[in-house]
Amino acid sequence: MLDAAALRDYDLLRHQAACLPWPNHSRLVVQGDDRVKFLNSYCTNDLTQLKPGQGCEAFIPNSQGKVLGFVHIYCEPDRLVMETSSDQAAPLIAHLDRYVLRSKVELIDETSATRTWLLAGPESTAILQRGTTSSLPHDVIGSAAIDWHGHHIRVASTRLLTVPAWLISCAPDQAAPMQTTIDTQHVPTADPHAFESLRIESGTALYGIDISVDNLPQELGIDAQAISFRKGCYLGQETIARIDAMGHVNWHWTGFRFSSPACPSRGIELTANEKPVARITSVAWSPCLQSWLGVGYVRRGFHKSGTELSYESKPVVVTAVPLANP
């Protein structure tokens, strides 16, 4: 459960705004004349329609259609920027670099070249807008370079939470003055546990924690926003298209609500008729619902919201994501 400070920060994230340093990210830049054509051949979404300032979600599959990465891709005037979970830039560069050949592209790990914060909450957009004369991105996923209270920063909107959420970044040598400005704008620094509670309530999956190379893209249930079935060929497309034609996968990403007051553990299995049918990848206490929540995968046939499973002889209810809304 959350302590008093984390509970306060949770309420700020849900109803006002708060900020936290964001170490749980990697940034990979693709630049060069062939950047769009190249990356479009190795991700599930259609990048050819993106204009500068716009973005999308996408999976990076391997040749078997399994997920090597889940990324937010932002189109900027002379580059594509991929934001994803921590420690993912190097393996994704290693994967993509095998296919560069004669393409005019350069792959850059920009993670250590920036300092990033997550600013989230219903008031977060207004906080950003008050400090700049520039226009913020209007799309659910978009980015812009702006001056904010005298700091040159990059802002990127993201689907991480059910409340508005922004990644704000600056050069490392500007991190200290940037933090001072955040503080002077009376934006509280949130406890990471508060963010985690809201992430689980939002049903958001993170690569390396909830998603791995063992997963197929369609298991996450976000085909409409992360997969194009009309674009040209790309690595792993055959498997992904075949699943679409079949109409189902065997595992479904979903939420779970526990009745037990004891904290469940990551990695546990849930049962039906004493047989394992679900696995939990992340858990957190929900102050909103006053119960432990989990997210993970459940077998087809048991994925309908309201289905009752069991853990240690206590009921666990399958709950569609998001599990709670602000």
Per-residue pLDDT tens over the stretch 84-95: 999 999 999 999
Distance CA 188, CA 183 (A): 7
Q: Whole-angstrom Cα distance, residue 266 to residue 66?
A: 22
Closest CA to 264 of 191, 200, 215: 200
Q: What is the mean pLDDT of residues 43-63?
A: 98
**Residue 325: per-residue pLDDT:** 84
Structural domains in the chain, CATH included, are: 4-199 (3.30.1360.120), 250-326 (2.40.30.110)
Render pLDDT for 160-176 as a digit per residue (tens, 0 to 9): 999 999 999 999 999 99
**Two structure tokens written together for 124:** 């977060």
21 three-state secondary structure: strand
- Among candidate residues 112, 100, 94, 82, the one with its CA nearest the CA of residue 173: 112
Fill in the amino acid letter for 55: G
Task: Please give the average per-residue pLDDT across 51-73, as a whole number.
Answer: 98
The pLDDT tens digits of the residues spanning 123-136 come to 999 999 999 999 99
Report pLDDT for 247.
86
Q: What is the rounded CA–CA span in Å between residue 95 and residue 102?
A: 16
